């Protein structure tokens, strides 16, 4: 009897084992179990806070918020440690790489449209600010960009000042565009089967095809369990052939991202156009799980490949298992930019309205270094750019990689500064130095310079950087007690509204008196022409976040 019971028990165990194994081999994504160390969240079953405008309704088939909500969320976001206030006497230099990515904004938008406050790690404030274009003057000299600066009272802490720095990239002559060699690297693994992933991806890339010329070349590499060349380099004029290759790509299998990257760069190198626009466009949810799959290994791989003069664009898709931190790190390593496509309207923005800015690089390794005048500024804090900070020595090191600037792109950075006359204490209690003194020079005391801004950039085909210097002067000494007569521009007010919104979403310890009502007031007063409705949409998102936060 005992032997019989043991046999029955063994059979039950075997049946359970084969049932589990069958599920694993079916090619379906298993979202019921979270990886170790990954937070599990439940998405709301409905989205009562979502508002759809008339313009958005035509894109509903691909709107992520219309997707059936997953039961579990294994999305991953890197932790962001916010920049602190630094005393100018001890830290006179602030150095960082520009960032033209804007994936954070569209990802945050997706979460809010789900009726869910975003993960703090998803909120990269500089990417939210740089999602929007600003009205900066066009370059007029020999350099491919202009520099714009403005100073005013900080909206969330009126005892502080806010410095707005903007860069405007030179626009291209559309009648004299260099030919493009584009390799579409498509993730067709099982995790890409949802309608807001591979189907939206295909429709997005078809938009890009309509913007290309007959001199451009297109290749398609796909990867799942293995990587393969679906379409060798083909003239963009052969649209039917390219679309047929896109349409036959189906989702299934595991994700060998490293193998796909290797093949895509090999294909791009073989079809390389000297003096042209050579670029790999990687479209994925970032869930690489076989082969070279660790983030550090993929970053090393991309850093090696960028030496061939091939740029990288990363397109993120989907929800539930999205790996944002990995995508951002790979993009930063690969002379590239990073977008998150949450709906068809965003695909239009990336591939039609701003295609040339996103796909044509006019300056690479663009770095900024600020030297603050201690007679004017006691302390400063760079808002955002935490993942783009550089050592002061990196500024003059041409071997140090930095961000790329696209044709017609704008880049914006904000500093919150504490005037020199402030009695506010910055940092901890540090003993006086024994062997050296840190004093303010007469030149600094007699100057109304707030800061000197230095830019370094390289032309796309050069490894030698070019230096530009711009001095920001104060109309009124920052320590003056006289009320300043300020007339801030829409550039200043709207960028401040976005920064304040980001700090609220992150529950930043530096948010001061920030509030959703104040963000709405700033944004509504500085909406401007808003031809594409992006700023109006932002105002709607702030209202949604305000309601969710109650």
pLDDT, mean over the chain? 84
Mean pLDDT of 406-411: 94
Q: What is the pLDDT of residue 54?
A: 31
Instruction: Give the pair of three-digit tokens for residue 222.
Output: 């796909």
As assigned by CATH, the class of the 86-105+119-172+363-424+439-499 domain is mainly beta
The C-alpha atoms of residue 408 and residue 145 are separated, in whole angstroms, by 9
Helix spans in 420-515 (H): 442-445, 490-506
| Cα angle 366, 357, 311; round to 5 | 60
Contacts 24+ apart (CB under 8 A), 117-121: 117/505, 117/545, 117/548, 117/549, 118/505, 119/75, 119/77, 120/77, 120/80, 120/505, 120/506, 120/507, 121/77, 121/78, 121/79, 121/80, 121/324, 121/325
In this structure, of 71-75, 181-185, 211-215, the range with the lowest mean pLDDT score is: 71-75
Q: What is the pLDDT of residue 15?
A: 45
Question: 476: pLDDT confidence band, cut at 50, 70 and 90?
Answer: low
pLDDT above 50 (res 49): no
Total-model pTM: 0.84
- Residues β-bridged to residue 169: 145
Contact 206, 239 (CB under 8 A): no
The C-alpha atoms of residue 20 and residue 32 are separated, in whole angstroms, by 12
pLDDT above 90 (res 414): yes
Determine what percent of the chain is predicted with pLDDT higher than 70. Answer: 83
Question: 478: pLDDT confidence band, cut at 50, 70 and 90?
Answer: low
The C-alpha atoms of residue 152 and residue 206 are separated, in whole angstroms, by 44
pLDDT above 50 (res 58): no
As annotated, the residues of the chain forming the CATH 2.60.40.1230 domain(s) are 86-105+119-172+363-424+439-499
In this structure, of 73-77, 269-273, 538-542, the range with the lowest mean pLDDT score is: 73-77
pLDDT above 80 (res 388): yes
Where is 330: in which H helix or E strand?
helix 324-333
Instruction: Give the pair of three-digit tokens for residue 67.
Output: 């997707």
Contact 374, 440 (CB under 8 A): yes
In this structure, of 43-52, 165-174, 518-527, the range with the lowest mean pLDDT score is: 43-52
* pLDDT tens figures, 6-43: 454 444 444 444 444 443 333 333 333 222 222 323 33
Question: 482: pLDDT confidence band, cut at 50, 70 and 90?
Answer: very low
Contact 138, 472 (CB under 8 A): no
In this structure, of 78-87, 267-276, 462-471, 481-490, the range with the lowest mean pLDDT score is: 481-490
Q: What is the pLDDT of residue 51?
A: 34
In this structure, of 30-39, 377-386, 458-467, the range with the lowest mean pLDDT score is: 30-39
Q: From the CB of residue 434, how many other CB atoms can be counted at a distance below 10 Å?
A: 5
- DSSP E strand boundaries for 83-235: 86-87, 93-97, 145-153, 161-169, 180-187, 217-223, 227-235
In this structure, of 128-137, 250-259, 287-296, 416-425, the range with the lowest mean pLDDT score is: 287-296
Contact 504, 519 (CB under 8 A): yes
DSSP-derived pairing of the beta strands 180-187 and 277-284: parallel
pLDDT above 60 (res 131): yes
Question: 198: closest CA among 281, 318, 286?
Answer: 318
List Cα–Cα distances, 98 to 163, 380, 397, in angstroms.
16, 18, 16
Contact 190, 477 (CB under 8 A): no
CATH number for region 176-359: 3.40.50.410
pLDDT above 60 (res 105): yes
Q: What is the pLDDT of residue 431?
A: 83
Question: 419: closest CA among 481, 372, 376?
Answer: 376
Contact 99, 131 (CB under 8 A): no
* pLDDT tens figures, 277-318: 999 999 988 776 544 556 788 788 888 888 899 999 999 998
As annotated, the residues of the chain forming the CATH 3.40.50.410 domain(s) are 176-359
Question: 256: pLDDT confidence band, cut at 50, 70 and 90?
Answer: low
Contact 377, 462 (CB under 8 A): no
pLDDT above 60 (res 239): yes
Mean pLDDT of 333-354: 91
Q: How many helices (H) and strands (E) does the chain have?
A: 14, 16
Mean pLDDT of 212-238: 91
Q: What is the pLDDT of residue 31?
A: 33
In this structure, of 151-165, 217-231, 269-283, 378-392, the range with the lowest mean pLDDT score is: 217-231
pLDDT above 80 (res 129): yes
In this structure, of 281-285, 329-333, 542-546, the range with the lowest mean pLDDT score is: 329-333
């Amino acid at each position: 009897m005992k032997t019989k019971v043991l046999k029955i028990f063994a059979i039950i165990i075997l049946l359970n084992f084969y049932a589990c194994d069958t599920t694993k081999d079916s090619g379906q994504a298993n979202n019921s179990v979270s990886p170790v160390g990954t937070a599990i969240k439940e998405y709301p079953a409905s989205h009562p806070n979502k508002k759809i405008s008339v313009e958005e309704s035509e894109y509903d088939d691909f709107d992520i918020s219309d997707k059936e909500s997953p039961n579990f969320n294994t999305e991953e976001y890197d932790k962001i440690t916010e920049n602190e206030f630094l005393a100018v006497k001890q830290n006179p230099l602030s150095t960082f790489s520009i960032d033209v990515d804007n994936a954070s904004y569209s990802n945050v938008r997706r979460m809010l449209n789900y009726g869910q406050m975003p993960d703090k790690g998803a909120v990269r404030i500089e990417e939210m600010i740089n999602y929007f274009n600003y009205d900066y003057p066009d370059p007029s000299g020999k350099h491919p960009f202009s520099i714009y600066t403005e100073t005013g009272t900080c909206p969330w802490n009126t005892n502080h000042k806010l410095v707005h720095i903007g860069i405007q990239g030179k626009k291209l002559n559309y009648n004299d565009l260099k030919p493009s060699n584009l390799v579409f690297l498509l993730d067709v693994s099982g995790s890409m089967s949802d309608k807001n992933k591979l189907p939206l991806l295909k429709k997005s890339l078809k938009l890009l095809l309509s913007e290309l010329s007959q001199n451009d070349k297109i290749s398609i590499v796909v990867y799942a369990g293995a990587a393969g060349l679906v379409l060798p380099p083909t003239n963009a004029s052969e649209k039917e052939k390219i679309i047929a290759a896109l349409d036959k790509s189906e989702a299934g299998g595991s994700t060998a991202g490293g193998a796909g990257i290797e093949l895509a760069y090999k294909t791009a190198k073989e079809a390389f156009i000297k003096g042209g626009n050579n670029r790999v466009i990687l479209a994925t949810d970032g869930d690489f799980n076989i082969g070279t799959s660790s983030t550090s290994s993929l970053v090393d791989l991309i850093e090696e490949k960028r030496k061939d003069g091939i740029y990288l664009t990363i397109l993120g898709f989907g929800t539930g298992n999205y790996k944002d931190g990995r995508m951002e790190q790979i993009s930063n390593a690969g002379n590239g930019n990073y977008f998150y496509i949450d709906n068809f309207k965003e695909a239009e923005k990336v591939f039609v309205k701003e295609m040339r800015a996103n796909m044509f690089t006019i300056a690479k390794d663009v770095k900024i270094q600020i030297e603050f005048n201690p007679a004017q500024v006691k302390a400063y804090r760079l808002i955002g750019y935490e993942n783009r900070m550089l050592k002061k020595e990196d500024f003059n090191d041409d071997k140090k990689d930095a961000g790329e600037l696209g044709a017609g792109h704008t880049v914006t950075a904000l500093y919150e500064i504490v005037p020199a006359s402030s009695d506010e204490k910055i940092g901890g209690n540090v003993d006086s130095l024994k062997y050296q003194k840190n004093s303010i020079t007469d030149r600094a005391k007699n100057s109304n310079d707030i800061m000197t801004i230095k830019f370094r950039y390289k032309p796309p085909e050069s490894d030698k950087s070019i230096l530009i210097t711009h001095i920001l002067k104060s109309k009124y000494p920052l320590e003056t007690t006289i009320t300043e007569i300020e007339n801030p521009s829409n550039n200043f007010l709207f960028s401040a509204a976005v920064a304040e919104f980001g700090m609220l979403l992150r529950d930043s310890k530096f948010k001061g008196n920030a509030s959703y009502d104040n963000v709405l007031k700033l944004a509504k007063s500085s909406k401007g022409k808003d031809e594409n409705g992006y700023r109006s949409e932002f105002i709607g998102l702030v209202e949604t976040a305000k309601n969710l936060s109650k």
